[in-house]
Amino acid sequence: MSPERDFRLIAIDLDGTLIDHGLTIAPRVKEAIAAAQAQGVTVTLASGRMFAAMVPFAQELNIAAPLICYQGGLVRHAVSRETIFHLAVPTDMAQEVVTLARTRGIQVNAFADDRLHVETMTAEAEAYMRLARVEATVVNDLVVFLQDNPSTKLVLVNLDENKTNRLVEELTAHFGNRLGITKSHPYYTEAIHPEVSKGRALTQLARVLDVSLDQVVGIGDNLNDLSLVETAGFGVAMGNGDPRVKAAADFVTSSFEEDGVAVAIEQHVLHA
């Protein structure tokens, strides 16, 4: 099918969109991405994951463009490692998140200098490490650590999605516009700088690449992808995605299990 317009950039979320819990990319999806690249389309990844955890997927897909990491808190070139943009969580806000989490007995992961830091090696921390394929460094006191180590993102981890949903609502009400709160996974509540989002990072990246937003495809599934889908000239929501993301999308593709990323690229990007 010939696309309605020529797209020059595709930004794709990772978890729930490009990969599942097995961290594998389906062959059909790989083929569709490679076909888009062969057509001259730049492909990048837009994830809440840290840069180090995204690089292996970028290498697997032959992506050489800057990657949108940490929900947009960091944009860094996949090959040269050049930092295009970085905005850390305000120190006092990061420390307040840790203090609130302690009172509720919730695991906190703090990301500073593209490394994961925790106070204790809990089951939640180990589960995160397995999913992200990164190692954690244990520090005695995160509040003290964060004083001199700005955190790009904090993740509050619990293994109950209902608790995650309630925590997102609670922290959003507590911090208001002082902090960005989002859900990136059934078990992850994320705290970022209030001016950080995948959509804003996508705008900056498009400007660096000299691409109009009308020529950008943004593909995602979860609430943290809402700004990505809304900002892109052509927003795509996964069939397994959050209803709010689907409502904002220009196109709702198939589910992850049905190679939704490939379906979107085949139908709306690739030339006949």
> Active-site residue numbers?
13
Q: 14: which strand partners?
A: none
Structure tokens at 244: 């709010």
**Contact 20/26 with Cβ under 8 angstroms?**
no
Contact, 113 vs 93, CB < 8 A? Answer: no
- Do 23 and 32 contact (CB within 8 A), yes or no? no
Q: What's the one-letter identity of residue 143?
A: V
Q: Please name the helix (run of DSSP H) or strand (run of DSSP E) that holds residue 107, with its range, or none.
A: strand 107-112
- 21 alpha-carbon distance from chain centroid: 15
Burial class (CB in 10 A: 0-12, 13-18, 19+), 128: buried
3-state secondary structure of 205: helix
Write the CA distances from 54 to 40, 229, 241, integer angstroms.
Answer: 22, 20, 21
Q: Is residue 7 classed as helix, strand or coil in its secondary structure?
A: coil
The token pair at 167 is 């925590």
Residue 107 CB burial class (10 angstroms; 0-12, 13-18, ≥19) = buried
Name the token pair of 71.
Answer: 């929900």
